[in-house]
Structure 1
Amino acid sequence: MDMKTGHYEWTAFYTELADQLFNFKSDRAELIRKICQIFEKIEMKLPKLEKGGIPTDIDPFTVFGLFNKGIKDENRIQIMKGMADAFDLSAEVPQSLSGIPVLNNMNAVFYGFEGDREADDIDHLWQLFESALKLAGNASDDHRKAFCEAYDTALSQRYIKWNITMGLYWIRPYFYVNLDSRNRAFLYNSEHMPADFVARYQPYIKTNAKVPPAEAYLDMIDACEAVFESGQYPYTTFPELSNAAWVETQGRPENDDEVPTIHYWTYAPGQNAEKWDECYQKGIMLLGWGEIGDLSVFPSKSAMRKKMQEIYQEDTSYKNSAHATWQFVREMKPGDVIFVKKGMSEIVGRGIVTSDYAYEPDRTDHFNHLRHVNWTDRGSWMIQNRTAMKTLTDITPYSGFVQQLKDIFERDALDEDDDQAVNYPVYTEDDFLSEVYMSEEKYHDIVNLLHHKKNIILEGAPGVGKTFIAKKLAYSMMGVKDIDRVMMVQFHQSYSYEDFIMGFRPTEGGFELKKGVFYNFCKKAEIDSDNDYFFIIDEINRGNLSKIFGELFMLIEKDKREHKIQLLYSDEKFAIPKKLYIIGTMNTADRSLAMLDYALRRRFAFIEIEPGFDTEGFKAYQKSLNNEKFDRLIACVTALNDVIADDDSLGKGFCIGHSFFCHFKPETVSDQALSSIVEYELIPLLKEYWFDEASKVKEWRDKLRSAIQ
């Protein structure tokens, strides 16, 4: 493929820029001056490249990192245009950036800041840059030897891991293989590469892989070239390979839990933080329990617990210990944030996880389990809320505590947040209609109504998927599964204004004014005013709405958006952004709940969600299962719904929804699974509906059971 077309138009620009940067190896002050001028000219803030702001030295890979990290594509292109002007490049600035590997925003430099790096670290990166260009131009033995020496030296430095392969790929994309997590996962699949390749390079491409040393890295490049030349695979160059890996991992996740989310952890590096100095110096985090061996071989937490009981004390459960080791190897991931604790009230550091789990069998102190971490902060900060005693705790669900810890390390917030972009999966109208059993006409009606009214309530019977629809509706209107722009809460009888907007909460020293979830979400939407935000309230009719919304009762109306009003607990004047949409869900079969306040009712549009058994989507799903018992059960439920709808004491709002039956695959539609739905979900529901008509319950119980016999 012509590298000025399609996915690979970027390669000419990157290659020429690398050539121009080499001219500044001995004049890095001039390079820094040019970079500052570029950002000033394009009116963008220079990212933080040193503790004091402007760097005193810089390496060429970090220069590439300025426009190869998680920021918006239009900003990346703008920076490249500035580079093209400043360095007088002839190659066209690429407009398609698909498939180009990018750095994590919080780990976008290849060196430690002053005081956190060795004197020669940046020189070593320049030596690697020079040797890489020479080797790509002439693969002589001397050039290969020089590259290996420079590569292995750089690899021994802090902050250098897989990112070095990414940097080499940027500067010579047709010569060096990129080994970021996407490519490693792709290469490890024997459907994408020959089985002997996967077996040979398994130590460097499996989940818990180590960065290959120079000789192994170059050997892998040679092996990839041989695969390309074989003609047995659709990719014949490294850009084609990398793009194929990118496309492979861009597939839409099956559920929202697979959408990338940063998790926050508290971590104790040994008793009384005894391992903290070593962890900080080496850029790692260590976990004990080394005697049980490589954690990645255990299939479950219970297996870990059993091994701990065998080695240590059989009369101890090791429940928390096994949970910590399981999370360390299975749940923690690169990009997660680590808060290092000493005792229960002192925080001594913060860092970003940069690697998968690794097992170090040669350590003799039993701290054989590690991950690499970019430690960004070190010091001593006392906190009000005491941390858990456990060695490792996922504190992500405790948003208030997370915010307290984040506030401690508030540094360069604009650089880290304003332009940060995550490549969330695309989610279109077609995706919505393929997952939600609803007609295209009704979908458009709901979207238009939400745009017009700003606030809607999805009401319907149990199991029609109201909450599922609310989330998917938000994603489809945004065009991506951007979880940062969707917030969900569930109302209940005790939910209050203080939870929702703001209120005073007790602390050790008295009371403190805390912001609520809706207040914080509105502020987030206010800053990002060009984009839509969606606030979903599940079971909206379970709360005292007038009490919860308080003085914001008026502001949720469409024509009152961005009008400011005085808040109850502060002297702040507050407004609800125009592009913030509220989606409520309401179960019409819940007889215990009072009707909605009329004044609030008129501020929402109400949309009835009906069972989707008759939709084209559900029929296609049913056909794909090809199961007679499932078909008979659906026919029985459809007939049952007709009876429920005609019942004067019930009505359509009590019909049985399709979501009871939507989780099957052809291989999982077993007799036991169908029986469980009937016995433990449908029959109890009928007993509640017809609590005073035992004969009707018996009639339909028998019909449901007969359908699956």
Structure 2
Amino acid sequence: MSTANQTSKPLEQYIHLLQEKKNIILQGAPGTGKTYTTASLAVRLGNPDFSELEDHTKVMEEYERLRKEGQIAFCTFHQSMDYEDFVEGVKPELQGEHITYNVEAGIFKQICKQARTTEEKDIIACIDDYLQKIRGYKNRREIPTISGKSKLLIWWEEGNKTISTRSTLSQITKGEQHSASPLNIEKVKARAIGEGVENNWPSYARAFIKAVKDEYHLEDEASTKPHILIIDEINRCNISRIFGELITLLEADKRTGSKIHPITVTLPYSKDSFSVPSNLYIIGTMNTTDRSTGSIDYAVRRRFAFITLKTDPEVIKTCIKDDKVRTKALAIFKQINGDGADDKASFIATHQAGDFDLEDLKVGHSYFIAETQEALQMKMCYEVIPLLREYIKDGILQGKKEDEKYFAAWAKGECLNPITSETSEATSDSEA
């Protein structure tokens, strides 16, 4: 079986899982290929016709193309990130000598908006068409307010830059066609696409936009083009706090377009109606050894499927072309990680401490991929050895007196032979 087929089979399984669940997290030890697998998943989902998944360069080129077109968005969670950064928040803006405060959409709200847009039924075009339907007072319509407790009369006089609106509860004193609360058309359009607000009558503007969406079934017709949000280091913050009330909307059956339990909420700052489109997919990544931050709670876990990526020496065999470098890289890999799951003599197995699984402690295969002997030595000196030292320092691995001998050998791109080392020491002692 070819490498491409070996790679594509699990990838297709992941794609199927992602299509069903909508949200997945790739977890594993550092260096197990989470970043590249994420890119491959996003490309394969974003462009089903792309077939060159075994070519790293072409995958990343296609990834960048989809990112520029807005189908892929990327962010990294960190401890100071919050709801206001991710969903929406009020941000100050200096205008001359004055400071104004505007509601700004975060990356999640932006990608949801991008996924919701359709080429056939653009909200701006729908507003223009709707204005023609309510042209003139005789074609006025009665629409519900956002609260649903009262109604509005709406109509448009051709040539006007405003939409005429009036509450059905208001007392008419200036003639039947008087509008006490006109809506600026351009500002209504800006609000509809999330790029501005109608300041004078915001609740009426929202009611008008909802009426247009209901008229053209826009809330029920999310684009079928897949959009992907990648969240790197998803466990390095409080996910429940960042998503807030939107955590429920992540479920597949709660999304717009679902025929089961679609849910819409009102956002706290903009007061916009908000839902998560069914064509948005979330891919998170997390290192299983990273316990410096809070763990993922059960409410979040229920909404994600978890895929564990393991260390794989076959990747090293495939990626390193030079026979000598490949042989040495594989030898060090096996000395550190073991030759299979049952190998208890490896460096990791003999140094295991705490409650970590053995697989979580292994050094990922990407740390061993090098084109030359010098490159392999550099990776050992500046990546692998420092990583293992950090594990020992944090108590993830238990330190032992012979560790420095291992590190010295690996820094030279070689395996440590304990028997040879012990014999050499004994000979040296007897000569002394």
TM range (shorter): 0.5 to 0.7
Amino acid at match of 2:12: H
Aligned partner of residue 314 in structure 2, secondary structure: coil
Matches within 5 A, 1:45-60: none
How many Å separate the matches in 2 of 1:641 and 1:547?
A: 37
- Distance in 2, matches of 1:677 and 1:440, equals 28
Residue 607 in 1 paired to residue 193 in 2? Answer: no
Question: How far, CA to CA, are the matches of 1:452 and 1:659 in structure 2?
Answer: 30
Q: CA deviation at 1:568?
A: 1.6
1:599 counterpart SS class: helix
> Is residue 86 of structure 2 the alignment partner of residue 500 of structure 1?
yes
Cα distance change on mapping 1:469 and 1:706 into 2, 3 Å: same
Aligned to 2:228: 534
The CA deviation string for residues 125-146 of structure 1, in whole angstroms up to 9 with x for no partner, is xxxxxxxxxxxxxxxxxxxxxx
* Contact 1:458–1:608 (Cα < 8 Å) also in 2: yes
Judged with a 3 Å threshold, the aligned counterparts in structure 2 of structure 1 residues 605 and 675 are, in CA distance, closer, same or farther, namely same
For the pair 1:698 / 2:404, whether they are aligned, the reply is: yes
CA offset at residue 444 of structure 1? 2.5
Offset at residue 661 of structure 1 (A): 3.6
User: Residues 554 and 696 (structure 1 numbering): CA distance in 2 closer, same or farther, change over 3 Å?
Assistant: farther
8 A contact 2:377–2:412 mirrored in 1 = no
> Partner of 2:295 in structure 1?
595
In 2, Cα distance between the equivalents of 1:522 and 1:634? 44
Instruction: Count the aligned residue pairs.
Output: 267
**Residue in structure 1 matched with residue 10 of structure 2 by the alignment:** 442
CA distance in 2, matches of 1:548, 1:534: 18
- SS of alignment partner, residue 330 of structure 2: helix
- Amino acid of the residue matched to residue 701 of structure 1? F
Q: 2:386 aligns with which of 664, 680, 684?
A: 684
Q: Does 2:39 correspond to 1:471? A: yes
Partner Cα separation in structure 2 for residue 438 and residue 451 of structure 1 = 21
SS of equivalent residue, structure 2 residue 104:
strand
Change (3 A) 1:613 1:503: same
In the TM superposition, residue 497 of structure 1 has moved relative to its aligned partner by: 0.6
Cα displacement (A) at 1:698: 2.0
The 3-state SS of whatever aligns with 1:540 is coil
Residue 517 (str. 1) matches residue 107 (str. 2): yes
Q: Is the 8 A contact 2:18 2:281 kept in 1?
A: yes
Q: Which amino acid aligns with 1:454?
A: K
Q: What does the per-residue CA deviation read over 1:317-370, in whole Å, with 9 as the maximum and x for residues that have no partner?
A: xxxxxxxxxxxxxxxxxxxxxxxxxxxxxxxxxxxxxxxxxxxxxxxxxxxxxx
- Out of 673-682 and 485-494, give the one that drifted further: 673-682
Q: Does the CA-based 8 Å contact 1:674-1:708 persist in structure 2?
A: no
Which residue does the alignment assign to 1:636? 332
* Residue number in structure 1 paired with 2:176: none
| Counterparts in 2 of 1:696 and 1:504: CA distance versus 1, 3 Å | farther
CA distance in 2 between counterparts of 1:450 and 1:575 reads 19
The answer to whether the Cα contact below 8 Å between 1:458 and 1:609 also exists between their aligned partners in 2 is: yes
Describe how 1:102-501 pairs up with structure 2 within 5 A. Answer: 434=4, 439-477=7-45, 478-479=47-48, 480=50, 481=62, 482-483=66-67, 484-501=70-87
Matched residue SS, 2:235 = helix
Q: How big is each residue's C-alpha offset from its partner over 1:210-230, in whole Å with a ceiling of 9 and x where there is no partner?
A: xxxxxxxxxxxxxxxxxxxxx
Contact 2:237–2:294, Cα closer than 8 Å, also in 1: no
Q: 1:547 aligns with which of 231, 241, 244?
A: 241
Q: Given residue 496 of structure 1, which amino acid in structure 2 is its aligned partner?
A: D
5+ residue gaps, structure 2: 51-61, 119-222, 257-262, 339-345, 416-432
Give the Cα separation in 1 of the matches to 2:43 and 2:312: 20
What corresponds to 1:567 in structure 2?
A: 267
Q: Which residue, 624, 643, 653 being the options, matches 2:360?
A: 653
Quickly say closer, same or farther: Cα 1:490–1:466, change in 2 above 3 A.
same
Report the 3-state secondary structure (helix = DSSP H, G, I; strand = E; otherwise coil) of the residue aligned with 1:584. strand
Q: Secondary structure at the match of 1:541?
A: coil
Q: 1:572 and 1:445, CA in 2 relative to 1: closer, same or farther beyond 3 A?
A: same
CA contact (8 A) 1:567 1:574 kept: yes
**What CA deviation, in whole Å up to 9, does each residue of 1:647-701 have, x standing for no partner?**
2434211211122244x4xxxx333322111111111111112235142532431
Per-residue displacement from partner, 1:547-588 (whole Å, max 9, x unpaired)? Answer: 110111100011111121111212211011101100000011
CA contact (8 A) 1:589 1:654 kept: yes
CA RMSD of aligned residues (A): 2.2
Distance 1:645 1:557, change over 3 A: farther
Once the two structures are superposed, residues 489-545 of structure 1 have per-residue CA deviations (whole angstroms, 9 ceiling, x without a partner) of 000000111111100011122311111111011000001412111100000001211
2:25 counterpart letter in structure 1: I
Q: Is the contact made by 2:87 and 2:106 (CA closer than 8 Å) also made in structure 1?
A: yes
Q: State the partner residue of 2:373.
A: 671
Contact 1:630 1:708 (C-alpha < 8 Å) held by counterparts: no
Identity %: 37
Letter of the structure 2 residue corresponding to residue 444 of structure 1: E
User: For residues 587-635 of structure 1, what are the alpha-carbon distances to aligned partners after superposition, in whole Å with 9 as ceiling and x for unaligned?
Assistant: 11113122111110111011001122135xx42323xx22314421222
CA distance, structure 2, for counterparts of residue 441 and residue 699 of structure 1: 41
1:556 paired to 2:262 = no
Task: Tell me, in whole angstroms, the C-alpha distance in 1 between the residues paired with 2:240 and 2:382.
Answer: 36
Partner Cα distance (1:497, 1:603) in 2: 18
TM-score by length of 1: 0.36
Residues 655, 595 of structure 1: alpha-carbon distance in 2 compared, 3 angstrom cutoff:
same
Letter in structure 2 aligned against 1:587? N
- The question of whether the paired residues in 2 share the 8 Å contact of 1:671 and 1:708 is answered with no
Q: Which has the higher contact order (CA 8 A, sep 6+)?
A: 2
* Unpaired stretches in structure 1, ≥5 consecutive residues: 1-429
C-alpha contact 2:378 2:411 (8 A) present in aligned 1: no
Distance of 2:276 and 2:76 partners within structure 1: 20
Shift of the 672–707 alpha-carbon distance from structure 1 to 2, 3 Å rule, reads: closer
